[in-house]
Amino acid sequence: MILGGVSEIIDVLVADVVLDDGACVQLRGKGRKQRSTPLRKSTIRENGAWLKHNQILSNDAALLPSLESRHISPHTGILAIYWFVCAY
């Protein structure tokens, strides 16, 4: 998901993530244009662990939900991405 913009990443739904063969994430950009972005092996592992840990998330739920189970805000998304990049 590194190849997506903040808005694209925070709008990803659980159903948008494919972890099987041809692992990818479906991103929606400007004009709601949809594109498929391949996932790295490490991203596949992390997303698989996240979804296993959060089995309550339905397919139409945000992959990265807020405490209220809604999409996180762009500001929170920027902070989360910054934290993730700095951690690695």
Within a domain: 30: yes
Query: What's the pLDDT at 66?
Result: 82
In a domain, 64, yes or no: yes
Q: Which has more pLDDT, 23 or 78? A: 23
**Residue range 23-39: mean pLDDT, rounded:** 87
- Per residue in 2-11, pLDDT tens? 456 778 888 8
CATH number at 45 reads 1.10.443.10
44 located within any domain: yes
Residue 71 in domain: yes
DSSP element (H, E) containing 27: strand 24-28
Q: Is residue 1 part of a domain?
A: no
Residue 23 within a domain: yes
Which position has the token pair 């659980």?
14
| pTM, full prediction | 0.77
pLDDT at 1 over 50: no
Domain limits for position 82: 6-87
DSSP summary character for residue 38? E
More confident residue, 57 or 32: 57
Within a domain: 16: yes
The four Cα atoms 87, 26, 24, 67 give a dihedral, to 10 degrees, of 40
Show the CA angle centred on residue 46, arms to residues 40 and 52, nearest 5°: 135
Based on the structure, what is the number of domains in the chain? 1
- Mean pLDDT in residue range 40-45: 90
